[in-house]
């Protein structure tokens, strides 16, 4: 019987549904970690930080080594999750994975600048892991001194499961720390805005001044503390006053989008 071939019906091909080019990625995967495992490279850690943008509080960094056989369901970039979902995943991650956490205090941020302080905290989080990794994936464009091979992954919290897990641990840890700061310093609303420059925080800065937890190298805080040249301070103070005078959006919505 002669070999036969059949060409596809062009009309059927054209009518088939196609994935839109603008379709967002499905979420972080374990592909990079699994590829390293196949090469015999293990353990593999992911690390991320929370709190680069706020006017107060530390930068918190986390490093996570996931167990390939016990990866929690629902891991994603912490910014895409509700507070309740983050808290549930935090508990699960800490139960089944190796976790290291470190923080850079406001004094270090003021001394070194926010970028250097963040990279320092990320490296310290890796060193805090109970098991030393052989490869580290870090969110962003900067590699860190991890004591092993390190790969920077831009938007890594949306692409790499280990980084997504670290973003959740860092975010939940920092939010809980800021809730404690809020209890110690009533009137600032730290437990609601986590130290970000929302209108409520601007009003409190003007009314109450800066605390030991504020980053004095950040212009709005420096303006309140009188540490800026007059012209710069006036501009920063105007920004604070404008923010404080705005019709405020509910603070939780601002916090959810902030980190």
Nearest-angstrom CA–CA distance, 214 and 195? 8
- 139 annotated among ligand-binding-site residues: yes
Dihedral over Cα of 206, 113, 155, 34: its sign: negative
Half-sphere exposure of 83 (CA within 13 A, CB side): 15
Q: Are strands 135-139 and 44-50 parallel, antiparallel or unpaired?
A: parallel
CB 76 within 8 A of CB 27: yes
- 48 annotated among ligand-binding-site residues: yes
CB 140 within 8 A of CB 154: yes
Neighbours of 94 (CB within 10 A): 15
- 49 annotated among ligand-binding-site residues: yes
Neighbours of 245 (CB within 10 A): 11
Residues annotated within the binding site are: 48-49, 139
Residues annotated within the binding site for a divalent metal cation are: 48-49, 139
């Amino acid at each position: 019987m002669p070999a036969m071939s059949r060409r596809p019906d062009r009309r059927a091909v054209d009518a088939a549904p196609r994935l839109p080019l603008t379709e967002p990625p499905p979420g972080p995967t374990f592909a990079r970690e699994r590829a390293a495992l196949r090469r015999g490279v293990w353990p593999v850690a992911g690390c991320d930080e929370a709190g680069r943008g706020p006017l107060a509080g530390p930068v918190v960094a986390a490093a996570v080594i996931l167990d390939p056989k016990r990866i929690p369901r629902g891991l994603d970039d912490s910014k895409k999750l509700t507070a309740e979902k983050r808290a549930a995943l935090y508990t699960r991650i800490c139960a089944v994975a190796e976790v290291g956490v470190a923080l850079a205090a406001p004094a270090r941020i003021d001394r070194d600048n926010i970028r250097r302080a963040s990279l320092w905290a990320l490296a310290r989080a890796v060193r805090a892991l109970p098991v030393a990794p052989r490869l580290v994936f870090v969110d962003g464009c900067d590699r860190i001194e991890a004591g092993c091979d390190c790969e920077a992954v831009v938007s890594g919290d949306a692409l790499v499961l280990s980084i997504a897990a670290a973003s959740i641990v860092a975010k939940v840890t920092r939010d809980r720390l800021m809730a404690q700061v809020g209890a110690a310093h009533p009137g600032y609303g730290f437990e609601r805005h986590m130290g970000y420059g929302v209108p409520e925080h601007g009003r409190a800065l003007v009314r109450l001044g800066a605390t030991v937890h504020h980053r004095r190298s950040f212009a709005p805080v420096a303006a309140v503390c009188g540490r800026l040249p007059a012209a710069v301070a006036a501009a920063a103070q105007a920004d604070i006053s404008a923010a404080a005078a705005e019709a405020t959006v509910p603070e939780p919505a601002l916090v959810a989008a902030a980190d």
